[in-house]
Structure 1
Amino acid sequence: MAAMDEIAVVVAHSERTTLRLGDVFLKVDTVQTRIDREVAAIAMAPIPAPRVLWQKPNVLAIAAVPGTALGRLGEPSPASPAAWAAAGAALRKLHDAPLPPWPGRSLDEVAAELEVECELLVSSAILPADLVARNRRVAEAAFRPFTPVFVHGDMQITHVFVEGDEVTGVIDWSEAAPGDPMADLAGLTLGHEERLADVLAGYGPEADADVIRGWWSLRSLLNVRWLAGHGFDPAAPGCEIDVLKARM
């Protein structure tokens, strides 16, 4: 059977499944709003994004973007410093674009979720109390006034595709909304702290490294239980738990 005739399962869990058939991705989502927002965000995005082929209830078909992912969490990135800088420049362009017309999450909502997650991480003995407490303090840097911008919302290195030193596509826009620009920068560099300077060289001087570090801790604390419950391993080398340990 030719590779283009094989169905590959890209992601599969109880909320979302993504399948690939040749150069077409099918995204099945239990929440129709996420699909609607992804289509709208792709149409608004001022940076390379997938082409929407068609949309039906709870299903979205998009075309593959060219290039290869900037890297993977837990693995050294093969991309050049210039490619990372290009990713930073793409984020800068996105953050300068007009806001999406739907609301994003408030910091109060994020803070409430963080409190619940920290308590559960400790009470369930998933993480040591001192590790959670230290990262909870680091995460405080994220809770400050900011001007909302057009954020991708799930920015990570597997969602940014490059060819050489050029960004050829950014995928998975279902979480796009008005939000904190430092959260996008933190997501992109999570587990790849050594690349932060390259990203900021492309992004510009408006970034705040302390807030980005706060978001590394915040994002990791919020994600550990979800990842473990959906078939992912946050304890894999270089992943979320290692990110939390790096703050100690």
Structure 2
Amino acid sequence: MVIIPSQDAFGNSEPGVVDAKPKLYYFHGRGKMESIRWLLAAAAGVEFEEEFLETREQYEKLRKDGRLLFEQVPLVEIDGLPLTQTRAILSYLAAKHNLYGKDLKERVRIDMYTDGTQDLMMMIAHAAFKPPQEKEENYAFIVKRAKTRYFPVFEKILKDHGEAFLVGNQLSWADLQLLEAILMVEELSAPVLSDFPLLQAFKTRISNIPTIKKFLQPGSQRKPPPDDHYVEVVRNVLKF
């Protein structure tokens, strides 16, 4: 254990707090937390703990304790801070681990690219909560949209940029989230990258970065696609 200064909600130092692993509060599944797991484990190689929400009572305790700023999860406790709102958490982690570009121009490109891939991934996440027939129709639409709207954009970015990564010449949050999105769409349609050779090479290249390769192996904290049990738990906890 190492004693480090912690910070309050305003960034003020509070000495004497024991350093600890980040702790993640979410359901035992992907959802909005999965990209956070990717940033911590796959990009930064950071170990973290998880508390899985399985009952309404767990959620209510977090809410009543004032730990959910807008009464929403995910919640991440890190560096003495209780962080909520997915985009804020991801931005913090990307900046903390040098995955957010070297200047404002690189950062805004990373923001554009991650916003795009997040839109695509949330389409997949939301489809899991549809009735069976509607779910399959949604998945077919998502694969088509990936092939006609999202992947052509990133194929062109890689061609025009001419580097191994999407922004600058080093790994960024944008690369990580694009790989995550590609793998999610491939679960719906394995040959989805057949018309995108640069994305195929990108997928292979980024997947072989040691920390990412480790995260993609069985037994990691990466979560599987949502199943009926996951959907039921989320509905019961959040009451929708």
Common topology (TM > 0.5): no
Higher helix proportion, which one? 2
Higher strand proportion, which one? 1
Structure 2 length as normaliser, TM-score? Answer: 0.36
Structure 1 length as normaliser, TM-score? Answer: 0.35
Larger Cα Rg: Structure 1 or Structure 2?
A: 2
